[in-house]
Amino acid sequence: MSGIGTLRVRVYTSNAQIPVEGATVVVMGREKNGKQSLISVQITDRSGLTQPIRITTPGAGESTQPDGVNGGVPFSTCSVWVEHPGFAMLQMDGVQIFPQVETMQDVELIPLGEGESSLQQRGVRTTTAQNL
């Protein structure tokens, strides 16, 4: 049994949450052999949002009656990379996708100083699994 969940990414800057238009959002999954696979590449719209991305997950029953597939966890994970010239690149690892649930990943980009490149400055945020 497997299900489908969706992921949306919202990119903004500063505490005022000003949307960042035109940021490149790359979503990568991980295959069984450990290789990364490309799921989606999108550019954010005027609201700093991507279109919902459909991602395969374990079945919906896994969170209440697990049968041990996918390492016993009821979600799949992906990595999200967000890049925009003039901002430090940000990478999120372990983003969780649950069946029939929309996951909203907020991404706050930090502006760079003069002469700095977005690809050289990379922040990584890792989400650890629920302790259940």
Least gap, CB of 74 to other proteins (angstroms): 6
**Contact flags string 33-72 toward other proteins, x per CB under 8 A:** ---------------------------x-xxx--------
Q: Report if residue 127 touches other proteins, rule: CB under 8 A.
A: yes
Q: Report if residue 101 touches other proteins, rule: CB under 8 A.
A: yes
How many helices (H) and strands (E) are present in the chain, helices listed first? Answer: 0, 9
Residues with Cβ < 8 Å from 96, sequence gap 6 or more? 75, 76, 77, 103, 127, 129
Angstrom distance (rounded) from CA 64 to CA 60: 8
- Residue from 18, 43, 104, 119 binding other proteins (CB under 8 A): 104
Among 11, 18, 24, 29, CA closest to 119: 24
- Give the ranges where the chain is alpha helix by DSSP (H): none
Pairing of strands 76-83, 24-30: antiparallel
**Contact flags string 68-97 toward other proteins, x per CB under 8 A:** ------xx--------------x-x--xx-
Kindly list the residues in this chain that would bind other proteins in the complex (CB under 8 A): 7, 60, 62-64, 74-75, 90, 92, 95-96, 98-108, 125, 127-128, 130-132
